[in-house]
Structure 1
Amino acid sequence: MIRVVMEHARKHPGLIPQFFFILLGMGGASFYLMRLAKGPHVTWKHGSNPEPWNNLSPSYQYKFVAINTDYKNLKKEGPDY
């Protein structure tokens, strides 16, 4: 597969940026999926802690980027279970 891509890149040098950006996009998507798989709302071991999201504090920032929400000032609105 890589050999075929290299042959095409030698014959058509205009394809090199396209190959670069495709690989960059695939790498970024893979990185983001790995990041999501390690989040607090994902359970891989159901026996040890089936609901890990219940252990998080109310000031935990769930979003990747929070523009308008200040998570430091949030208060917990419910009972402790």
Structure 2
Amino acid sequence: MQGLSLASLRKNPALIPLYVCVGIGAIGAVYYTARLALRSPEVTWSRKNNPEPWEEYRNKQHKFYSPVRDYSKVESQAPKFSE
């Protein structure tokens, strides 16, 4: 197919911004998916080492972005579960 080799990209330089934008979008999607899988309190990778991962976030900020607010001093509204 045209536009997939370096020789054809040299003939059609208008395709270069398209490839750059698609590449940046793909990298952003992979980064965000990995961030959700690794940093989210709803996901646990080892049930034996961390049986209740949500307890770590009881008094921490859980939002992706929050204006200046210290969540360590706020009383948590989360219920305390016990087995």
Q: Same fold (TM over 0.5)?
A: yes
Give the distance between the partners of 1:68 and 1:47, measured in 2 at CA. 35
- 1:9 Cα offset (Å): 1.7
Residue 9 of structure 2 is matched in structure 1 by 9
- 1:65 Cα offset (Å): 0.6
5+ long unaligned stretches in structure 2: none
What is the alpha-carbon root mean square deviation over aligned residues? 2.6
Paired AA for residue 46 in structure 2:
K
- 1:29 Cα offset (Å): 1.1
* Shift in CA distance, 32/22, structure 1 to aligned 2, threshold 3 Å: same
Residue 47 of structure 2 is matched in structure 1 by 46
Give the distance between the partners of 1:29 and 1:8, measured in 2 at CA. 28
Residue 32 of structure 2 is matched in structure 1 by 32
Give the distance between the partners of 1:55 and 1:5, measured in 2 at CA. 49
Q: After superposition, give the CA deviation of every residue in 1:10-64 in whole Å (9 maximum; x if it has no partner).
A: 2211010010010011111111111111123211112222321123342x11111
Residue 21 of structure 1 is matched in structure 2 by 21
Paired AA for residue 55 in structure 1:
E
